[in-house]
Amino acid sequence: MSERKTPDPAAAVVLGIETSCDETGVAVVDARRGLLAHALHSQVALHAEYGGVVPELASRDHVRRLLPLLRTVLAEAGVAPRQLSAVAYTAGPGLVGALLVGAATARAFASGLGIPAIGVHHMEGHLLAPALEADPPEPPYVALLVSGGHSLLVEVRGLGDYRLLGETLDDAAGEAFDKTAKLLGLPYPGGPHLARLATSGNPERFRFARPMTDRPGLEFSFSGLKTQVLLAWQKAGVQDEQTRADIARGFEDAVVETLAIKCARALEATGARTLVVAGGVGANRRLRGQLVELAAARGARVHFPRPEFCTDNGAMIALAGLKRFLAGDLAACNLPVRPRWPLSELRPPAAQAA
């Protein structure tokens, strides 16, 4: 491998690769011009017949899709490989086979160009995703990260400087959405289908508990809520489409209100004036509406990435990689993949260098 290029903030261009689960994402970010191009391939149709992600199929599909996407994105960005400053990839957490596909591709590509391959923490990508938008939030802020695999409240003080405020004790919010949707007979992936069904539901018919809001703390728990939904469905008598919609609305309201209560507590506990929402559940319209109202009532601001950047995507990985690259974070170079990687283990680049 040839000598690595010296970081140049005025000209840095980073290619990002995301393959942590069932979406293949590629993007190019420029330090001056922002996001130049991005593409995402979803494996929803591939896994639908199984009702969930099949890891081996996910890995194989990443192998098929990654290089064509990479070529397409570079062409759309108008960037030749020799113009890249670094290649960022998701090093974890995620499915080990899927992570290995992205990491191997990124390292091989970077090695051939003589530039760094930067391993990125998947959740750090989500935490930084709002910076892809105009007027991005500046730390410190509170971030709610809600997806199929994670439900976290994090105080973001700077790059790599994160304090975990609370997390789920069992199912993540997105996982609870998907499992409840499956219970109601909705197709995979269930979360978006449940949210659409809830729009025609009666919010007064079923009122479910707001888990763990009757006590202090910032932890979440959604497994008991699923049990309440199951019992309501079994006792409903007539299990028609309206009953299904009414239960979906009651469930969604319970999750949204629970998340909003915890966000209010987190803002109060930290004194932060900014709330950032990321992760797939962050695209939920009812959640967005309630958090906007919450922030306005507190004189705070709330930031959401656009829906396409709430789900897993290459743009957030490219951005996180760019920030690590410009900070001279050599500790992030050629990281091994880590299917399990607590966010608490991340450190600011300066602390790692010390």
pLDDT tens-digit readout, 186-224 = 998 899 999 999 999 999 999 999 999 999 999 999 989
Report the pLDDT averaged over residues 166-170. 94
pLDDT at position 353: 46
Read off the pLDDT of residues 234-259 as tens digits, 9 standing for 90 and up: 999 888 999 999 999 999 999 999 99
**Is 7 a member of any domain?**
no
Q: CA dihedral defined by 293, 299, 300, 306, rounded to 10 degrees?
A: 40
Task: State which of 55-64, 280-289, 330-339 shows the largest mean pLDDT.
Answer: 55-64
pLDDT of residue 339: 97
- Shared domain check, 316 and 299: no
Instruction: With respect to residue 281, please indicate whether it lies within any of the assigned structural domains.
Output: yes
Residue 8 within any structural domain of the chain:
no
How many domains does the chain fold into? Answer: 2
Which token pair is 85?
A: 């400053």
Q: Where are the alpha helices (DSSP H) in 214-332?
A: 223-235, 241-270, 285-297, 314-326
Residue 82 lies inside a defined structural domain of this protein: yes
Residue 45 placed within a domain: yes
Strand order in the sheet with 301-303: 161-167, 151-158, 141-146, 274-278, 301-303
Q: Are the C-beta atoms of residues 191 and 280 closer than 8 Å to each other?
A: yes
In this structure, the answer to whether residues 251 and 170 fall within a common structural domain is yes
Cβ-contact 85, 113 below 8 angstroms? no
Residues of the chain above pLDDT 70, percent = 96
Q: Angle formed by the axes of helices 241-270 and 223-235, to 10°?
A: 160
Shared domain check, 190 and 326: no
**For the chain, what is the total number of helices (H) and then of strands (E)?**
11, 10
Return the pLDDT at 307.
87
Domain co-membership, 163 together with 114: no
Q: Are residues 106 and 210 in the same domain?
A: no
If asked whether residues 151 and 126 sit together in one domain, one would say no
Q: What does the angle CA 136 – CA 294 – CA 171 come to, to the nearest 5 degrees? A: 85
Other CB atoms within a 10 A radius of the CB of residue 338 amount to 17
Residue 2 has pLDDT above 50, yes or no: no
pLDDT grade, residue 126 (50/70/90)? Answer: very high
Q: What is the pLDDT of residue 352?
A: 54
Sequence-distant contacts of 203-209: CB under 8 A, at least 24 apart: 203/249, 203/250, 203/253, 205/246, 205/249, 205/250, 206/232, 206/246, 206/247, 206/249, 206/250, 206/251, 207/250, 207/253, 207/254, 208/232, 208/250, 208/251, 208/253, 208/254, 209/254
Same domain? For 121 and 152 the reply is no
Tokens 């069904």 belong to which residue? Answer: 197
Q: In the predicted model, what is the mean pLDDT of residues 284-289? A: 94
Structure tokens at 184: 């109601």
Of 188, 84, 172, nearest to 123 by C-alpha is 172
47 & 171 share domain: no
Q: Is the pLDDT of residue 93 over 80?
A: yes
**pLDDT the model gives residue 144:** 97
Predicted local confidence at residue 1, as pLDDT: 41
Average pLDDT, stretch 58-81? 98
Phi then psi for residue 304, to 5 deg, are -125, 135
Neighbours of 30 (CB within 10 A): 19
Asked whether residue 178 falls in the same domain as residue 255, the answer is yes
Q: Find the domain containing 246 and state its range.
A: 138-304
With 0-12 / 13-18 / 19 or more C-beta atoms within 10 angstroms meaning exposed / middle / buried, residue 324 is: buried
Query: Do 267 and 329 reside in the same domain of the chain?
Result: no
Mean per-residue pLDDT for 102-126? 97
Same domain? For 164 and 121 the reply is no
Domain for residue 204, yes or no? yes
User: Is the previous residue joined to 9 through a cis bond, with omega within 30 degrees of 0?
Assistant: no
Backbone angles phi, psi at 69, to 5 degrees: -65, -40
- DSSP notation for 150-204: -EEEEEEEETTEEEEEEEBSSS-HHHHHHHHHHHTTPPSSHHHHHHHHHTTS-TT
DSSP 139: S
Domain assignment present for residue 32? The answer is yes
Last residue of a domain, one of 282, 304, 326: 304
Indicate if 167 and 267 belong to the same structural domain. yes
Q: What distance in Å separates the CA atoms of residue 49 and residue 260, rounded to the nearest whole number?
A: 34
- CATH code of residue 315: 3.30.420.40
pLDDT at 208: 97
Contact, 222 vs 173, CB < 8 A? yes
122 located within any domain? yes
Give CA torsion, residues 57, 22, 51, 283, to 10 deg: -170
Mean of per-residue pLDDT scores for the chain:
93
- In this structure, the dihedral spanned by the alpha carbons of residues 312, 318, 324 and 330, taken in order and rounded to 10 degrees, is 100
According to DSSP, the β-strands at 86-92 and 117-121 are parallel
Q: Would the pLDDT of 171 be above 70?
A: yes
